[in-house]
Amino acid sequence: MPKKIIVTGAAGFIGSCLVGKLNELGYENLILVDDFSSNLKKPNWINKHYALCVPREDFLRRAHELSADIEVVFHLGARTDTTEMNEKVFDVLNLNYSKQIFDFCSQYQIPLLYASSAATYGGGELGYSDDHHFIPFLQPLNPYGISKNEFDKWVLQQEIAPPFWAGFKFFNVYGPNEYHKNRMASVIFHSVNQIRNTGKVRLFRSHRPDYADGMQKRDFIYVFDVVETLIRFWKNRPVSGIYNLGTGKAEPFLRLAEAVFEALELPPAIEFIDTPIDIRDKYQYFTQADIHKLEATGLAPNFTSLHDGIIDYVGRFLKDQKYY
């Protein structure tokens, strides 16, 4: 019997896409970990092939029984709401739970790959380098980013570690299976819905003189490039550490919106609105992953351009509300 592959957050966006990709590659020896009570998330996992579903709160207890049978842990489960201000929620779900999983993988010498976030970079004052020396000095802008950075800092202080581990600072990931994410879904997802409902896309107006409206930039990465990288790292085990996972190329929201209209075969109709007051002082105008460390491993995929990713995502999934 092949050893089991653990995926936490398996009912979520990136986790379910990883499960789907593993299934495509012939892996069905999967243990899915998540809160499976949400009907909104059910289509993400219900048709996948797996050995076992384990509720998140039961996993650590069950994991010790299964330890001899586990090949790798992909820890992608987290509370990802950047507007949630209750730090205790993040302490429980993001920080302490992740510490327990790291300790478990260290104890049983199981490789661990986990999700960090570009939210750890805050406003980008220190740039976007994944050099470990910068991590203690980063100043995230919200409790979600703080929780991710606190875990990264804690990991780097551990003397006992899994035989291989990697944390990935995901930049702006988009792609199928994000229907349940509501406000936290990608701009591409919201743009398609806005066009369906109103015939136009609304983008945030710039509140800074050095950025024109719609020229705020993000490093957008297609979810299939993310899961491809995770699988390559698991298979090849480069140097353990924390890695940026973006394309290394920032793109403006205006280009994104234009590509969505192209994918829907419609002429662009874009309206600019004020950035909501509750996020205006925390809004990032520019993010771009420094991917030198990732590229040095030789494991970076050929990143999908934002234009091509949008055409694929909208055409294959969003147009007909399909899942991966």
Active site (annotated) includes residue 144: yes
Mean pLDDT in residue range 237-252: 98
Q: Is residue 195 part of a domain?
A: no
Q: Is residue 74 part of a domain?
A: yes
> SS3 of 226, please?
helix
User: What are 144-172's pLDDT values in tens digits?
Assistant: 899 999 999 999 999 999 999 999 999 99
Structure confidence at residue 83 (pLDDT): 60
Choosing from 99, 153, 181, 200, which is the catalytic residue?
181
CB 69 within 8 A of CB 3: yes
- Give the contacts of 60 (CB within 8 A, at least 6 positions apart): 97, 100, 101, 104
Counting residues of the chain whose pLDDT is more than 70, the rounded percentage is: 97
Structure confidence at residue 182 (pLDDT): 87
Q: Is residue 15 part of a domain?
A: yes
Choosing from 50, 114, 121, 144, which is the catalytic residue?
144
DSSP single-letter state for residue 37: T
Residue 234 domain boundaries: 4-173+220-248+288-303
Confidence of residue 204 (pLDDT cuts 50, 70, 90): very high
| Ordered DSSP codes for 184-216 | GS-HHHHHHHHHHHHSSEEEEPP-STTS-TT--
Check whether 52 has a pLDDT greater than 90: yes
Confidence of residue 1 (pLDDT cuts 50, 70, 90): confident
Q: Is residue 65 part of a domain?
A: yes
Check whether 141 has a pLDDT greater than 90: no
Counting residues of the chain whose pLDDT is more than 90, the rounded percentage is: 86
Poorest-confidence range of 21-30, 182-191, 227-236, 292-301? 182-191
Q: Is residue 167 part of a domain?
A: yes
Q: Is residue 194 part of a domain?
A: no
Query: Can you give the CATH number for the domain in which 237 is found?
Result: 3.40.50.720
Check whether 84 has a pLDDT greater than 70: no
Q: Is residue 264 part of a domain?
A: no
Global pTM?
0.94
Instruction: Say how far apart CA 42 and CA 209 lie, in whole Å.
Output: 44
Active site (annotated) includes residue 114: no
Check whether 100 has a pLDDT greater than 70: yes
Mean pLDDT in residue range 288-315: 98
Q: What is the mean pLDDT of the chain?
A: 94
Confidence of residue 143 (pLDDT cuts 50, 70, 90): confident
Q: Report the domain count for the chain.
A: 1
Q: Is residue 210 part of a domain?
A: no
CB 130 within 8 A of CB 293: yes
Residue 239, both tokens: 């140097």
Check whether 212 has a pLDDT greater than 90: yes
Check whether 88 has a pLDDT greater than 80: no
Cα four-point dihedral sign 130, 234, 38, 101: negative
Structure confidence at residue 81 (pLDDT): 63
